[in-house]
C-alpha cells in the first residue's frame, strides 16, 4: 500500500468514525476551553456555532445532581496526576462523572442550602484491570480505590477505536484482502463492532472487531459492505489477532440511489409538497430553565442533565397538587440504563453482533448536535453535555439535548352533550406537553429518546429508531434467485445484493419512582374472569380486578401477557386519598416485544435483564447499569437478573422499577437506504394520586388567543 493511499484512507477513517459514532477527539486546547469548533455537515467540514468557552469555563454547580463542570473535571485530573498509583503514568480514563450524593442528602436539600461535598466517580483501565475510584473535590484526595472483580471491561474510549483503526489499516493481509475484492484502499471505510463474549479463549484479552465498507460513490457506505471480511484486534497489545475472510464470492453492492441527503430536485418527486409547519409562540415558551439544569413548566419541575453513558437523565421529578398547591414527588431519577441489540445471524462475520450500546459505546458519547427546526422545533432550549476524553480532559458535546413545548392538535379532555338531554354543552381542552429530547447515533442506528410531561400528571417515555440498517452482502439480486433453504438469508432482500438482517432492539429504563416519598410498594392488579352462577344474571362472565402486593423481588418479575392482563401500580401505602386509596403511579405498556433467544445463549446471558419486561428491586446506589458496570465482553455475572436473584423484600421500601421496551425488526425495502422513524413508548400515569381530574380548571383556547391561519378551500 503506497503512503499517499494509506494517508487518504486513514484520514477518511477518522472522519467516518466521527460520523458513525458521534465521538469527538479533542485537542488539549479544545479540552480546556470546552468548545467544539467544527462539525461535519452534508458531507463537508464547516464552521458551527457553539456556546462561548466562558459559558462552561465559569459554570458552577447549583444543585446536588448537577454534572461535573469543566473546572471540576480539570481538578480531578490534577488530583489523579499526583496520585501515586497513577503517577507518572496517567491511566486511560473510560468514565469520569459525578459521584452522586447519598439519596437522603439530596432529598433533604433545598435551594439555598450548601451543596453536599462534590465527588467524582472514575473508571480507569490499567494493565487490563478495571480500577474504580472516588475522588473528593473538596478534600483534593482519592477517597476510595478498588479493582473491579467481575468480568468485562469499561466503555470503549476514542483511543481504543483509533488504535483498532491504525492496526487494521496497516496490516498487510487485510490490505491484500481488500484489494482482492476490487476495492480501492482509498475508498475503504471501517467501523468497530464490539465482540460480545462467546468463548473461554476470549477471557483475559480485550478485543474489538473491525469490518469495512466501500464509500466509493456514496456517503452511505453502510449499504456497501465488504461481506465476510472481519478483523479481530487486541486493543491492549495493539495487534491483529485474527482475520476472517469468507465472502470472496459476494460482490460489493452498488452505491446507486443510496445517498440520503436532501437535494432541491427531490421536491419534484412529490406532486403536492407540504408547506412548512411551525409552532409559533408570540409570547415565548412557557417553560424556563433555572441554573442550567432545573426545568419548570406548568405544574412540573425536574432536574435534567446529560450523561456520557446514559445520555439523558431526569431527576427529582415533582408535580403540583391542584388541591393544595403543594409540590409532590413522583420520581427520584429516570434514565435509559442499557440498550441491547442482537442480530439474528450465526455466521462468522455476524454472530457476535449483539450490542449493548450504553455499556459498550455510551449513549451520551454518541449523541451529536441536534438539528434545529428538524430534530427540535423553534423556541427549543438546548443543553450541552460536558464529558471526558481518554486522557481525562473535558470536552463539550454541544446541543445534545433540547427542551420544547409540543402542540400536535391533540385533545387533553372533552365532552359534548346531546341536545336531547336539554343541555347545550361542548367542552374541550387542547393538549400541550413538554418534551426533553436526545438523539444518539450509535454507528448506523439513530435512537431518539423523548421524555414527555403532560399537565394531567402523565409522563410518556418514547423511543424512536431511524438511521441505517446494518446490511449483509449477498450474491442475489432478486427473490426468485434465492433457494428456499439458503441458511445465509437471515433477512429479506432490501436492494440488489443487499440483505436486511433480522434483529431486535431492547431499551431497559431504570425508574427510581418516589411516589410521595421513597417508601413505595408494587401492587399488581390482575383482571380475572369470573363466571356467574346459574340464574344469577343474563351474563355468563365478567371481569374482576384483584390486587396483590409484591412482597419480594420474585413477585415483581413480570412478563407481559395479552390474555392475562394486569396493571402495575407503584403506590405509597402511607399516603391515601380522601377515599382511602393509596397514592400511586402505574406503568402503562405500549407496543412491546420480548427476546426469543435461548436463555443460555451467551448474548442472552449477558442481557438477561431483558428476560422480563418489568423488574422491581430495592434501591441500591451501585445498581445503576442493567448490564453491569463493565458490560464490554462481560459474561452476565453483574446484571439486573443477577441482583434480583437475591429476592430481597420490596414492600413499603425505597424501590426501583425497571421497564424494558422492545422491538422486533424484520427489514423491508422501505427501510432502504435510510429508515423512516419507527417508535414505541410507555406511560407513567397517576392512579389515585390526585383527588380528581387535575386539569379540570384548564382554560380553553379562544379565537382571539391565537394567530389566524386558515386551510385553503377544498376542491
Of the candidates 113, 124, 118, the residue with the CA atom closest to the CA atom of residue 155: 124
Find out whether 107 and 518 touch, Cβ atoms under 8 Å. Answer: yes
Q: Please state, in angstroms and rounded to a whole number, the distance separating the CA atoms of residues 398 and 378.
A: 17
Find out whether 196 and 603 touch, Cβ atoms under 8 Å. Answer: yes
What DSSP state is assigned to residue 682?
E
Find out whether 468 and 493 touch, Cβ atoms under 8 Å. Answer: no
Of the candidates 65, 47, 53, the residue with the CA atom closest to the CA atom of residue 102: 65
Of the candidates 594, 581, 549, the residue with the CA atom closest to the CA atom of residue 568: 549
Task: Check 357, 512, 514, 516 and give the catalytic one.
Answer: 357
Q: Please state, in angstroms and rounded to a whole number, the distance separating the CA atoms of residues 602 and 446.
A: 26
Sort strands 471-473 and 459-467 into parallel, antiparallel or unpaired. unpaired
Task: Check 153, 445, 476, 506 and give the catalytic one.
Answer: 445
Catalytic, 66? Answer no
Helix (H, G, I), strand (E, B) or coil at 463: strand
In 264-380 the beta strands, taken as DSSP E runs, fall at 288-290, 294-297, 300-307, 311-320, 327-342, 354-356
DSSP 129-185: EEEEEEEETTTTEEEEEEE--SSSB-PPPHHHHHHHHHHHHT-HHHHHHHHHTT--G
Angle at 196 between CA 191 and CA 197, to 5 degrees: 145
Find out whether 384 and 397 touch, Cβ atoms under 8 Å. Answer: yes
Q: Please state, in angstroms and rounded to a whole number, the distance separating the CA atoms of residues 243 and 177.
A: 9
Catalytic, 445? Answer yes
Which residues contact residue 673 at a Cβ distance below 8 angstroms, ignoring those fewer than 6 apart? Answer: 220, 223, 257, 258, 259, 260, 468, 495
Find out whether 654 and 520 touch, Cβ atoms under 8 Å. Answer: yes
Active site residues: 357, 445
Amino acid at each position: 500500500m503506497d503512503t499517499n493511499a494509506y494517508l487518504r484512507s486513514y484520514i477518511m477513517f477518522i472522519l467516518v468514525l466521527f460520523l458513525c459514532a458521534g465521538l469527538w477527539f479533542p485537542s488539549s486546547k479544545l479540552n480546556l476551553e470546552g468548545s467544539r469548533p467544527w462539525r461535519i455537515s452534508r458531507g463537508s467540514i464547516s464552521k458551527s456555532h457553539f456556546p462561548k468557552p466562558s459559558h462552561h469555563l465559569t459554570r458552577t454547580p447549583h444543585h446536588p445532581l448537577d454534572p461535573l463542570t469543566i473546572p471540576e473535571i480539570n481538578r480531578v485530573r490534577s488530583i489523579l496526576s499526583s496520585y501515586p498509583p497513577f503517577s507518572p503514568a496517567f491511566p486511560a480514563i473510560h468514565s469520569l462523572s459525578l459521584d452522586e450524593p447519598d439519596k437522603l442528602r439530596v432529598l433533604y436539600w433545598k435551594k439555598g442550602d450548601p451543596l453536599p461535598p462534590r465527588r467524582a466517580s472514575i473508571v480507569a483501565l490499567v494493565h487490563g484491570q478495571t480500577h474504580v475510584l472516588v475522588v473528593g473535590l473538596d478534600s483534593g484526595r482519592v477517597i476510595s480505590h478498588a479493582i473491579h472483580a467481575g468480568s468485562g471491561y469499561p466503555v470503549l474510549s476514542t483511543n481504543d477505536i483509533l488504535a483498532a483503526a491504525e492496526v487494521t489499516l496497516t496490516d498487510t493481509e487485510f490490505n491484500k484482502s481488500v484489494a482482492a475484492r476490487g476495492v480501492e484502499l482509498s475508498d475503504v471505510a471501517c467501523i468497530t463492532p464490539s465482540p460480545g463474549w462467546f468463548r473461554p479463549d476470549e477471557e483475559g484479552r480485550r478485543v474489538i472487531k473491525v469490518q469495512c465498507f466501500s464509500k466509493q460513490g456514496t456517503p452511505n457506505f453502510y449499504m456497501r459492505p465488504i461481506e465476510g471480511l472481519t478483523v479481530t484486534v487486541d486493543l491492549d497489545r495493539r495487534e491483529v489477532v485474527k482475520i476472517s475472510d469468507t465472502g470472496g464470492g459476494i460482490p460489493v453492492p452498488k452505491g446507486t440511489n443510496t445517498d440520503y441527503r436532501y437535494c432541491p430536485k427531490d421536491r419534484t418527486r412529490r406532486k403536492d409538497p407540504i408547506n412548512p409547519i411551525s409552532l409559533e409562540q408570540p409570547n415565548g415558551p412557557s417553560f424556563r430553565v433555572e441554573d442550567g439544569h432545573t426545568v419548570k413548566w406548568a405544574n412540573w419541575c425536574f432536574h435534567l442533565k446529560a450523561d456520557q453513558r446514559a445520555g439523558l437523565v431526569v431527576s427529582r421529578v415533582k408535580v403540583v397538587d391542584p388541591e393544595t398547591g403543594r409540590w409532590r414527588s413522583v420520581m427520584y431519577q429516570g434514565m435509559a440504563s442499557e440498550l441491547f441489540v442482537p442480530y439474528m445471524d450465526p455466521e462468522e462475520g455476524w454472530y457476535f453482533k449483539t450490542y449493548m450500546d450504553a455499556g459498550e459505546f455510551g449513549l451520551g458519547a454518541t449523541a451529536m448536535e441536534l438539528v434545529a427546526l428538524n430534530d427540535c422545533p423553534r423556541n427549543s432550549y438546548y443543553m450541552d453535555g460536558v464529558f471526558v476524553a481518554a486522557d481525562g480532559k473535558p470536552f463539550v458535546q454541544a446541543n445534545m439535548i433540547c427542551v420544547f413545548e409540543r402542540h400536535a392538535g391533540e385533545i387533553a379532555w372533552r365532552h359534548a352533550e346531546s341536545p336531547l338531554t336539554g343541555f347545550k354543552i361542548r367542552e374541550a381542552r387542547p393538549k400541550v406537553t413538554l418534551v426533553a429530547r436526545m438523539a444518539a447515533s450509535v454507528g448506523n442506528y439513530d435512537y431518539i429518546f423523548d421524555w414527555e410531561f403532560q399537565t394531567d400528571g402523565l409522563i410518556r417515555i418514547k423511543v424512536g429508531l431511524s438511521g441505517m440498517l446494518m446490511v449483509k452482502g449477498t450474491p442475489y439480486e432478486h427473490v426468485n434467485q434465492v433457494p428456499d433453504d439458503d441458511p445465509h438469508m437471515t433477512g429479506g432482500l432490501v436492494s440488489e445484493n443487499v440483505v436486511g438482517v433480522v434483529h431486535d432492539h431492547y431499551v431497559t429504563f431504570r425508574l427510581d419512582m418516589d411516589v410521595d416519598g421513597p417508601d413505595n410498594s408494587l401492587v399488581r392488579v390482575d383482571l380475572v374472569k369470573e363466571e356467574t352462577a346459574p340464574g344469577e344474571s343474563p351474563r355468563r362472565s365478567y371481569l374482576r380486578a384483584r390486587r396483590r402486593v409484591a412482597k419480594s423481588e420474585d413477585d415483581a418479575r413480570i412478563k407481559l401477557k395479552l390474555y392475562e392482563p394486569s396493571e402495575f401500580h407503584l403506590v405509597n401505602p402511607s399516603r391515601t386519598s380522601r377515599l382511602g386509596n393509596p397514592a400511586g403511579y402505574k406503568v402503562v405498556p405500549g407496543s412491546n416485544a420480548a427476546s426469543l433467544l435461548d436463555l443460555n445463549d451467551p448474548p442472552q446471558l449477558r442481557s438477561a435483564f431483558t428476560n422480563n419486561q418489568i423488574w422491581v428491586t430495592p434501591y441500591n446506589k451501585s445498581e445503576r447499569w442493567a448490564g453491569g458496570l463493565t458490560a464490554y465482553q462481560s459474561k452476565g455475572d453483574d446484571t439486573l437478573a443477577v441482583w434480583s436473584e437475591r429476592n430481597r423484600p420490596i414492600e413499603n421500601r425505597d424501590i426501583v422499577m425497571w421497564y424494558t421496551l422492545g422491538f422486533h425488526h424484520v427489514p423491508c425495502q422501505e427501510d432502504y437506504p435510510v429508515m423512516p422513524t419507527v417508535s414505541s413508548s410507555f406511560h407513567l400515569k397517576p392512579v389515585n394520586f390526585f383527588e380528581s381530574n387535575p386539569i379540570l380548571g384548564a382554560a380553553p383556547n379562544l379565537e382571539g388567543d391565537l394567530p389566524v391561519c386558515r386551510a385553503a378551500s377544498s376542491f
